Structure formats: C-alpha cells, structure tokens
Amino acid sequence: MSPDRPQFTIRRYLPADLVRLHGIDRSCFPPAIAYSLGELRFYLAGRKAVGLVAEILHQIAGFAVGRCEENSVAHVITLDVVPEARRQGIGKALMDALHEEFDRQGVTAVILEVSVENLEARRFYEKLGYRAANLLRGYYNGEVDAYRMIRPGTAAGDRKGR
C-alpha cells in the first residue's frame, strides 16, 4: 500500500454496524438491486454467516458477507466498498479474509453472482480465481442477467486422493 493511502483494518461484523452497512450497500448498488435493511440483517444473522468489515481510521469503508451452504459450498452474498475507498486493496483484502474463513470451515467451492453488465467486477473476481459457470437470465429483478461464478476452495485440493 502506498504511503499516501490510509491503512485499513479488517474485523468481524458487529450488529451495531448494520445501519452503516445498509447505507454503503445502497451507495454501491442501484435501488432495485441493493438489499433492504431486513435482507441484510437476515444474511448477517445466520449461524453460518461470515460478515467482515474494513475500516480506515475507524470509519467503515467496505464489507463482505458470505455464508456456508450445504455440501461444503460457500456463497459470497455481497462485497461493497465505498466509492472513495476503491482501488486501495480493500475489496481484495475482504475477499481474501472471506476465503480464509471458508477454508477453515472446509469449503470445497465458493459461488457468487455478478451482473453481466459489471465488467469491472467480473474481471476482479476472475483475478481471484472465479470462473463463470452459467448465465442466470433476469437474476436481478427479472431484468438484468448475471453470471454465477465459481472458485474452488483450498479444501477441495485437500480432499483429493482421500
């Protein structure tokens, strides 16, 4: 990280963060795609949920939410970084921390969905090892298509040969 950029830290989500995370989500996505407060609370409250928060100078600059699903598969629910904090490595650090947590839980694959219109995000996820698996027509409110992308978890390699 360059010296002119503030350092950031990654920590676990706290329930007191919810309203701020909701505001960030609404700034990152169009109203028809952004999560409602209740939806975000639901995804963060689950027993198998993983919520991570990035802070710069004690201000939340981004967050990631994921959860472990059935059959050792994890799902990235959302990755949000405030526009003014982008391109500082925060998104990658959040995803790396999310992947580490999934690996600790024995995940063999991670999935996520991304709009076909969001080329920047698709390229970002490809750099992290995700590959488009299938097209989901009308995924966002029946209007915008998405790709389901998949990344093998490191636990997948651990289980080969057993």
Which CATH number covers residue 148? 3.40.630.30
Q: Single out the catalytic residue among 125, 130, 139, 147.
A: 125
pLDDT for the residue 85:
86
**Two tokens, residue 65:** 């939410």
Let me know if residue 77 belongs to a domain: yes
pLDDT for 124 equals 96
3-state secondary structure of 104: helix
- pLDDT (0 to 100) of residue 6: 63
Exposed/middle/buried for residue 26 (C-beta within 10 Å: 0-12, 13-18, 19+): middle
Question: How far apart (Å, rounded) are the C-alpha atoms in residues 52 and 62?
Answer: 9
Q: Is residue 88 part of a domain?
A: yes
Is the residue at 1 inside a domain? Answer: no
The reply to whether 2 falls in a domain is no
CA of 39: how far to CAs of 4, 58, 121, 153, in Å?
A: 37, 25, 22, 26
What residues of the chain score a pLDDT lower than 50? 1-2, 157-162
Q: What is the pLDDT of residue 120?
A: 93
Per-residue pLDDT at 109: 95
> Does residue 26 form part of some domain?
yes
User: What pLDDT score does 143 carry?
Assistant: 85
What range does the domain containing 94 cover? Answer: 8-159
Residue tagged active-site, from 39, 69, 101, 113: 113
Residue 25 lies in a domain: yes
Q: Is residue 34 part of a domain?
A: yes
Q: Is 125 known to be catalytic?
A: yes
In a domain, 151, yes or no: yes
Instruction: Reply yes or no on whether 55 is catalytic.
Output: no
Query: What's the total number of domains in the chain?
Result: 1
In this prediction, residue 2 carries a pLDDT of 46
Q: Which residues pair with 103 in a beta bridge?
A: none
Both tokens of 29, joined, read 């996505």
Residue-level pLDDT at 113: 96
